[in-house]
Amino acid sequence: MIKNIILVTAMFSFSCQQSNNKNNIVEVEGCMDIEAINFSPNVTISDQSCIFVGCTDPESINYNVKATIDDGNCLSANQVPAGYLLHWNDEFNGDTLNSKYWNIETWWAGAYNNELQSYTKSQNNIILNNGYLYLRAQKETPFNPNQPGYTSGRITTKDKVEMQYGYWEIKAKLPSGIGTWPAIWMLNSKIDSIPWPNSGEIDIMEHVGYDENRVFFSIHNEDLFGNVHGTNQQGVYYYEEIEDDFHIYSVEWNENEIKGFVDGVQYFNISKLSNFNYSQWPYDSPFFLIINLAIGGDWGGVQGVENSIFPSSFIIDYARMFIKESEN
β-strands 180-188, 166-173: how paired?
unpaired
Residue 44, phi then psi, degrees to nearest 5: -115, -20
β-strands 117-119, 150-152: how paired?
parallel
Calpha distance 251→259 (Å, rounded): 6
CA distances from residue 108 to 105, 119, 252 in whole angstroms, order as listed:
10, 6, 33
Calpha distance 138→152 (Å, rounded): 7
> 171: how many CB neighbours lie within 10 A of its CB?
18
Asked if 296 and 147 touch (Cβ cutoff 8 Å), the reply is: no
Asked if 43 and 30 touch (Cβ cutoff 8 Å), the reply is: yes
Calpha distance 24→5 (Å, rounded): 29
What are the residues whose beta carbons fall under 8 Å from the beta carbon of 163, sequence distance 6 or more?
87, 88, 286, 287, 321, 323
- At 151, the amino acid letter reads T
Residue 6, phi then psi, degrees to nearest 5: -65, -40
- CA 72 to chain CA centroid, nearest Å: 17
Q: Which residues have a catalytic role annotated?
A: 201, 206
Q: Judge if the upstream peptide bond of residue 58 is cis by omega within 30 degrees of 0.
A: no
Q: How many alpha carbons fall within 13 Å on the CB side of residue 269?
A: 5
User: Does residue 23 sit in helix, strand or coil?
Assistant: helix
